[in-house]
Structure 1
């Protein structure tokens, strides 16, 4: 398959445009524009090179959410259960996945990076294949794959394993099945069931994605023309994974706690790790390209009925993706993963429809090379004054501890020793009015785990001691905001 690449090189040499900068722009843009699966090797090399830069030359410290996921995986691996024994806002399926990762790799940050890149590689391959299979563009091209790979490098944490990335993997599978509904004469029974199953699994991994249930219903009826039978089939598929999760908790005696705590995840105070301004500064260029792509696709050219439906699916997808940011409780750029398929589709429209070839090549180069380079420098500059990253711990705790606060640094060398992992969710949980039965359940939760040391900078545990005199006899206050278990 190298002959096509040789033709591009030959044409550039014959035209006399042999200067190095212009030559590299031509080869990059033209190489990925052709319809040849061999281009996927180039995308793999692109991801590997940037991975080398990220991990060797510009490694980023562990973030607060990443440390929380590692702690959760460790704790659940010891036989405890999410919601029943550990309070966090993560999805149950993600909790199980992090437990499995901890079993295999422990607190190995490299494993999180590798697994994350494997997931984004799958998303890239799948989304590009869906766009080709269902004729989303007039020509078959691998431009979407390289564009999508570049967009994933908008931020370092988009590349690492996260609940948002796990859930979005299933949402993009659901979107692919919705695209199949735009093809006339297509048998849709299996597809409609899969749409629901994939969307339900995504919600199980990342609860914020529950917002895509109305997306599935609306687009299924308004765009794909679901019959009542198809709608019911997709809804059954959606609730099947959630039902199985409920059965799991019921079987392990924790369904009541799960039903009580899961709704609270949407009410807790938000962790604002990154500002919207940071996102806007880095995102203005790809968003501008997407806007131009939408304008060109809708105004300057005609489209088939199927392509019009696909464009409507993508636009509504982006609207719902933006809406889900009103639900997120950890405002960090790994949540932006849900926007990437839609932006990829629109930016590809820009590159395929722009008439000025040199302008297209420059824009392509800025996106594929400029965006990752600028993002690395930008986020590296934010490390020192950001609460997103875990600082080095001044005091080295090696035993099981529990922190009732936002500073997770003491966990770096210690293990989670109590039920309250997500402090802001735990605050809401502890502030609830309780009858005698619920107080007994809370006491049993604390008594079951008994951390050796409790860091209580805000006085939450001290209030608990007043409610439970038995606990007051088990812990002693050794310094301001520090309680240790009595021997």
Structure 2
């Protein structure tokens, strides 16, 4: 199989794409329940297409570009079960960038289609990766920035295309706020391993700032810029340690990739006979890993699909083994071992992540305008969402600030601009809101346990 993948012919690539397409089709036909965040992303798109404003009228921490992507999917009425197709398209595009960068700038000896295969396979260690999430969308821009960094490192004279590095990293941050930290990776990689000057460093920062300034102006025009700043503070600047239990849960998806990457990196240390461009790329990817570790402490939630930014660097280090190991049979065994680990990882994922998928809703109503004051968003599958509370982890803090006048005004705005027919209150927050907004006591009466109905 190693010789087959190492070929530069189109047949191995076509074969991989056909197998990928068939596997994705069969996965969709399995008709398994979507993850909670798949429904959340769909609801974001729906609310934005109804004319509501991100962050002010829809409370979530997805970046503006990612929110626009979800809005586009909803605009064309693509159902949730097609998410695997869109995720596959993004990963295929990223794998092409990954492979073409390695080949064009000769970062490694000729490996044919093997870089495409390794990169793609790493994104199959978990079913969570097969979702067009904000983190996955942002990785596309990070890879485009990586390609530009490698281009500048491969020449003696850095040119003004460094502007694109800042632009791509800024766009990645607008998909997933934690990716803003990769601007430090871009600058350090250029300062240490290229002949960049002060003017060109300023160009990098101009590219980074201009995409954010334009986004800020658009949000200022729509009146929700303060909410954008608040979300970015909570999702990219606020540091918190990941929960150890969560890290243990997601370890299965990343341990295979980390194991192969460590072996590849060790082979590089043992073998100094690597071209100059290859050495710079190795060190650049090491800075990527350290930046990723730092970014982990800013993630709003520790989950497998939120740590995707590690996979490109791990895939690159893993490739070292396939040209530094002398014995052909070891390379062959490693490929089959990688395939076997992918299979068992997916099998484990299929069984262990049932609790992350949508469950049957406790709310019996259907086709009604519903507001949920809790994390049980599965009730929105058969009803129309009212209000901004699509992400309860972000929203629940609002109900701890009911003693503040601005909070009461904001809740009153939510209840009047998009009034629900039913309010489902599994957390008991609605009674507190009724105390501060007394008119809600007459407008909504208990219909059944934890459910309130509007009185017409």
TM over 0.5: yes
Instruction: Give the superposition deviation at 1:172.
Output: 0.6
Point out where structure 1 has 5 or more consecutive residues left out of the alignment.
1-27
Choose from 28, 35, 41 the match for 1:69: 41
Q: Distance in 1 between matches of 2:312 and 2:83?
A: 22
* Deviation sequence 1:116-137 (CA, Å, 0-9, x none): 1111110011110000111111
2:262 paired with 1:296:
no
Question: Which residue of the partner structure matches residue 226 of structure 2?
Answer: 256
Question: Which residue of the partner structure matches residue 450 of structure 2?
Answer: 481
Q: Distance in 1 between matches of 2:292 and 2:192?
A: 18
Distance 1:35 1:186, change over 3 A: farther
Q: How does 1:366-381 map to 2 (within 5 A)?
A: 366-367=337-338, 369-381=339-351
Q: Secondary structure at the match of 1:189?
A: coil
Instruction: Give the superposition deviation at 1:364.
Output: 0.5
Instruction: Give the conservation status (yes or no) of the 8 Å contact 1:84–1:257.
Output: yes
Distance 1:296 1:270, change over 3 A: closer
Choose from 134, 159, 173 the match for 1:188: 159
Instruction: Give the conservation status (yes or no) of the 8 Å contact 1:268–1:428.
Output: no
Instruction: Give the conservation status (yes or no) of the 8 Å contact 1:390–1:409.
Output: yes
Choose from 349, 357, 363 the match for 1:389: 357
Distance 1:437 1:458, change over 3 A: closer
Question: Which residue of the partner structure matches residue 229 of structure 1?
Answer: 199
* Deviation sequence 1:131-188 (CA, Å, 0-9, x none): 0111111335321111111111111221221111111111110111111121123542
Q: Secondary structure at the match of 2:153?
A: coil
* Structural RMSD (CA): 2.4
Choose from 62, 87, 97 the match for 2:59: 87
Q: How does 1:345-356 map to 2 (within 5 A)?
A: 345-356=316-327
Q: Secondary structure at the match of 2:370?
A: strand
Choose from 398, 418, 423 the match for 1:429: 398
Instruction: Give the superposition deviation at 1:304.
Output: 2.4
Instruction: Give the superposition deviation at 1:295.
Output: 1.1
Q: Secondary structure at the match of 2:307?
A: helix
Instruction: Give the superposition deviation at 1:269.
Output: 9.6
Choose from 130, 135, 158 the match for 2:106: 135
Choose from 440, 456, 463 the match for 2:409: 440
Instruction: Give the superposition deviation at 1:82.
Output: 0.8
Distance 1:426 1:265, change over 3 A: farther
Choose from 426, 431, 439 the match for 1:462: 431
Larger radius of gyration: 1
Instruction: Give the superposition deviation at 1:282.
Output: 4.4
Instruction: Give the superposition deviation at 1:272.
Output: 7.9
Point out where structure 2 has 5 or more consecutive residues left out of the alignment.
none
Choose from 23, 29, 45 the match for 2:18: 45
Q: Distance in 2 between matches of 1:346 and 1:377?
A: 26
Question: Which residue of the partner structure matches residue 290 of structure 2?
Answer: 319
Choose from 204, 210, 231 the match for 1:240: 210
Q: Distance in 2 between matches of 1:393 and 1:274?
A: 27
Instruction: Give the superposition deviation at 1:71.
Output: 0.9
2:141 paired with 1:170:
yes
Question: Which residue of the partner structure matches residue 246 of structure 2?
Answer: 275
Instruction: Give the superposition deviation at 1:350.
Output: 0.6
Instruction: Give the conservation status (yes or no) of the 8 Å contact 1:33–1:142.
Output: yes
Which has the larger displacement, 422-431 or 33-42? 33-42
2:371 paired with 1:402:
yes
Instruction: Give the conservation status (yes or no) of the 8 Å contact 1:84–1:254.
Output: yes
Report the number of matched residues. Answer: 454
2:329 paired with 1:361:
no
Q: Distance in 1 between matches of 2:52 and 2:244?
A: 28
Instruction: Give the conservation status (yes or no) of the 8 Å contact 1:282–1:375.
Output: yes
Instruction: Give the conservation status (yes or no) of the 8 Å contact 2:377–2:390.
Output: no
2:28 paired with 1:60:
no
Distance 1:295 1:127, change over 3 A: same
Distance 1:90 1:212, change over 3 A: same
2:420 paired with 1:451:
yes
Q: Secondary structure at the match of 1:484?
A: strand
Question: Which residue of the partner structure matches residue 6 of structure 1?
Answer: none
Which has the larger displacement, 168-177 or 277-286? 277-286
Q: Distance in 2 between matches of 1:409 and 1:351?
A: 45
2:88 paired with 1:117:
yes
